[in-house]
Amino acid sequence: LSLDHGMSPVSPIGFVHLGSYKAKLGDINEGYHYEKLARSLIDKVGSRESAGEVIAFGAPIRQYVEPLQATLEYHNEGYAAAMASGDIIQAALNNLFSLGSSFLAGVNLQTTRDKCAESINFMHERKMLIFGMTAKYHQHSLFKLIGIDEKPKDVSAEEAKILTTNKSVMRTYNYQKAYTSFMFRLYDDSKNYAEKYLDFVDSTWANLLLQHAFQAFHMGLISFWVARNSREHGWYERGERNKLALKKWAESSKWTFENKWYLLEAE
């Protein structure tokens, strides 16, 4: 509509999602082009109400091009813009994406733990249950990596139902379980949770997110590990697919993905 009839206050939203979809389909450079266009239009079309959403879905595209550590402030900017316009959903998304990016970028675990607690409180106060559950799964991984033996709080009946019916939540839960199991070299748990994660891998977001690359990386490592132990050809094939995905992403951002591609190549 913007191309046919001219720009409107929501044009930046359309362009950033178009860029995200193109990047998810494999054309990172084209996606990056539309992301930059969307960012440039925020102030030109007369409204910053769209800024929170544009940044929430635009920052992940930038993370596939720019050095990861240099992009961490983008979601803070998006959160502030969303709160200023009263867009709680986009504020929560920026909050959640910021938490995930900090964790994956290797920010100090104690610092990330504090950010995680703030995110969970933000979601809880606004009764955003699904977002809050996603943040809690990050928190469980952080606790294990830090060495905090803290048992999860009682799960409500509503949370238990979501964990068995919401594919996005189930995918996140099983990925985090597979990841921490792999980090502690728990073979059976790694294989079990990886298999459960793979049952839901096709239900991921249509938008490109940073987590997609890191999930492919960690699943690639687990797949090659399981393949060496089980000699099952299917696990080798999964590892190869993830390795090729990292190789493709390394073409757009050597800073972030090239070393991970080399690690999978070494496997």
Q: Encode the chain (267 residues) as per-residue pLDDT tens digits.
A: 555 667 888 899 999 999 999 999 999 999 999 999 999 999 887 578 899 999 999 999 999 999 999 999 999 999 999 999 999 999 999 999 999 999 999 999 999 999 999 999 999 999 999 999 999 999 999 999 999 876 656 778 899 999 999 999 999 999 999 999 999 999 999 999 999 999 988 777 789 999 999 999 999 999 999 999 999 999 999 999 999 999 999 999 998 999 999 999 999
Residue-level pLDDT at 5: 62
**CA pair distance 27, 130, nearest whole angstrom:** 30
184, 146 contact by CB (below 8 A) = no
The predicted pLDDT at position 2 comes to 55
Looking at residue 101, its pLDDT comes to 97
The span from the CA of 25 to the CA of 40, in Å, is 23
Q: Where are the alpha helices (DSSP H) in the chain?
A: 2-5, 11-24, 28-41, 51-63, 73-85, 88-105, 109-125, 129-146, 157-165, 167-183, 187-199, 210-230, 233-250, 254-266
Question: What is the pLDDT, as a whole number, of residue 90?
Answer: 97
Q: What is the pLDDT of residue 219?
A: 98
Phi-psi region at 143: left, alpha or beta (left = phi > 0; alpha = psi -120 to 50) = alpha
For 162-218, give the DSSP string: HHHH-HHHHHHHHHHHHHHHHHTT-HHHHHHHHHHHHHTGGGS-SS--HHHHHHHHH
C-alpha of 4 from chain center: 33
Q: How far apart are CA 29 and CA 35, in angstroms?
A: 10
